[in-house]
Amino acid sequence: METLTATQKQYLEQPKERISGSEAIVRCLLAEGVNVLYGYPGGAIMPVYDELYKYEDKINHVLTRHEQCAAHAAQGYARISGKVGVAIATSGPGATNLVTGIADAQIDSTPIVCITGQVPSHLLGSDAFQETDIVGISTPVTKWNHQVTKATQIPEIIARAFYIAKSGRPGPVLIDITKDAQFEQFDFQYKKCTGVRSYVPVPKTDPSSISDAAALINSAKKPLIIWGQGIILSKAEAELQELVEKAGIPAAWTIMGASALPTSHPLNVGMVGMHGNYAPNVLTNDCDVLIAIGMRFDDRVTGKLDEYATQAKIIHLEIDPAEVDKNIKTDVAVLGDAKQNLIELLPQVDANTHPEWLQKFKDLYEIEYKKVIKNDLHPTKEGLTMGEVLKEINIQTKGEAAIVSDVGQHQMIACRYADFNVTKSNITSGGLGTMGFALPAAIGAKMAVPEREVVAVIGDGGYQMTIQELGTIFQNKLAVKIVVLNNEFLGMVRQWQQLFFEKRYASTEMVNPNFVAIAKGYYIEAKKVTKREDLAATVKEMIDSDGPYFLEVCVEKEGNVFPMVPSGASVSDIRLE
């Protein structure tokens, strides 16, 4: 059970009081424990903004410079706090601008509630000014959505929105509220939602599936764990570590699972997938039991499906029944909450070590180190590498920063080389691959954990998709550290063009502006590094600075990210060069 704050108690289950729909919306948010939301005003949501003005001592509305960024900021907030992020926008373009963030939250299971204003109910369907069917548009990318046309519906629907967003496999919920419902007066009272009869957030676990899983694990000679974000979402980091250590099982992670087990843990064997580590990818096709926990066998993880771990027995611990057998046929499916099921599983698992099997991971790591990692982290060539920038960030933050990455080469490098010593430290757009995600997500992340160092690592392409959020950072004095790894290319697409399209660099070269001048235009301290000898000191200066800081690092133009599982290839056909 969550503990309620004093503010929440003030608005929960109070005697009925006659107020407007718009005031009710704000009180509902307060009752849900929301103290920050991200948004952008406009005609159809103005009554709510008028109430936000009156309640500004209790709830902080952050004006982003674009509604898409309100959604991403809410995502960043949710991902690092474990709470529901909230974004708010007006009807029409305000609402449609949220959609990318909503779709991102859907595919990455992030709990956010989006509230949109809508034209008055008597104008619905009339093609009124700024009318758009946002409920229709957002249906395929929301866990749930609903249109409210009467003030009396507001408390129940908002309560349900928060419950659905947060429970089970989390996801985005959109509530569209007509302007007349915002103005309407009604007798307000708020009760939290504790269940929806048609919705089973956590499926029942069959106890025999746990003993079957334990038996398979105990019989395994070459077991491999692959965990995903499910570990973080169910707060099962300690249980995962206990399982890994007790049974002596090497454990690898998907991009969304990063940081649940410290990078430095001896049984953490790295990332799986297209640009993951060599050993866990190759040995996926060598293990005898594959234990997948809170992950969904995404195509970027599996490569060619019919050559994925065909030799192994598959155990899948999963909260969403629709994910079981979706891509990979499982031998034992353990449905339910990851933490709860790991707690049940642990006593049934024998203590074990697998020294020979672990040695294989070490041997393959050595190969990857010589061929790839050494050149990325300790380059001898002239041009700066993305990897050495990450290495400096690790040193200066002691591996305790939250790394918010965008999408592309720098993202793969950040996930590969960042030291994740604290959980919930990898905020990135995994499933949707949304360029422009990082800068706004870093805003939400920093506001959720102001005491933590938040470093946004972004490419020069993605940065320019949401660069206007420098304004939000400046206005709110947020000490976000922004690192742009500038190779003057849309690097990942260029890499594919080099490898698979005979170097026809179609529309991937970027002529960039003076990024330092732009940051300074927003009164943000900024520096540019072009030489290796300046890197360490400048990264230190950035981390030491108290306010926001922009650092542009000019890296080699045509660097590639390896290892790489070419699209459509088997994971064991991973290329090192």
Partner 1 sequence: MATEKKLYTVSVYTENNIGLLNRISAIFQRRHINIESLNISVSEIKGVSRFTILIHMSEDQIKKVLGQIEKQVEVIKAYYHTDDDTIYQESCLFKIKSDLLFEERQIQNIIKESNAHIVTVNKEFFVLEKSGRRAELETLHKALSVFGIMQFVRSARIAVTKDELKITEMLNAFKNQ
Which residues carry out catalysis? Answer: 67, 129-130, 179, 492
Burial per residue of 378-404, b for 16 or more beta-carbon CB atoms within 10 angstroms, e otherwise: ebeeeebbbbbbbbbbbebbebebbbb
Distance CA 317, CA 300 (A): 19
Quote the tokens at residue 173: 């919920």
Tokens 């709860």 — which residue? 340
Distance CA 554, CA 532 (A): 10
Work out the burial of residue 517: count CB atoms within 10 Å of its CB; fewer than 13 is exposed, 13-18 middle, 19 or more buried. Answer: exposed
Residue 37 near residue 87, CB atoms below 8 Å: yes
Cα–Cα distances (Å) from 176 to 85, 88, 114, 200, 302, in that order, read 16, 10, 8, 24, 38
If 0-12 CB within 10 Å is exposed, 13-18 middle and 19+ buried, where does residue 355 land? exposed
Is the Cβ–Cβ distance between 312 and 177 less than 8 Å?
Answer: no
Question: Which residues face 333 on adjacent strands?
Answer: 316
In this structure, how many other beta carbons lie within 10 angstroms of the beta carbon of residue 238? 15
Can you tell me the distance from the alpha carbon of 244 to that of 269, in angstroms, rounded to the nearest whole number?
11
DSSP labels for 302-367? HBSGGGSSTTSEEEEEES-GGGTTTSS--SEEEES-HHHHHHHHGGGSPP---HHHHHHHHHHHHH
CA distance 386 to 17: 58
Distance (Å, rounded) from C-alpha 171 to C-alpha 431? 13
Cα 163-168-170 angle, rounded to 5 deg: 75
Concatenated DSSP letters of 82-133: SS-EEEEE-STHHHHHHHHHHHHHHHTT--EEEEEEE--GGGTTTT-TT---
φ and ψ at 535, to 5 degrees? -65, -55
Our measurement of the distance from residue 322's CA atom to the centroid of its chain's CA atoms, rounded to an integer in Å, reads 21
Q: Helix or strand or coil: residue 23?
A: helix
Alpha-carbon Rg of the chain, whole angstroms?
Answer: 24
CB 13, CB 177: distance < 8 Å: no
Backbone angles phi, psi at 271, to 5 degrees: -90, 145
Residue 573 is classified by DSSP as: G
**422: burial class by Cβ within 10 Å (0-12, 13-18, 19+)?**
middle
Whole-number Å distance between alpha carbons of 337 and 318:
7
Binding site for partner 1 (CB under 8 A): 135-136, 139-140, 143-147, 164, 195-199, 320-326
Secondary structure class of 456 (helix, strand, coil) = strand
CA nearest neighbour of 19 among 156, 174, 116, 155: 155
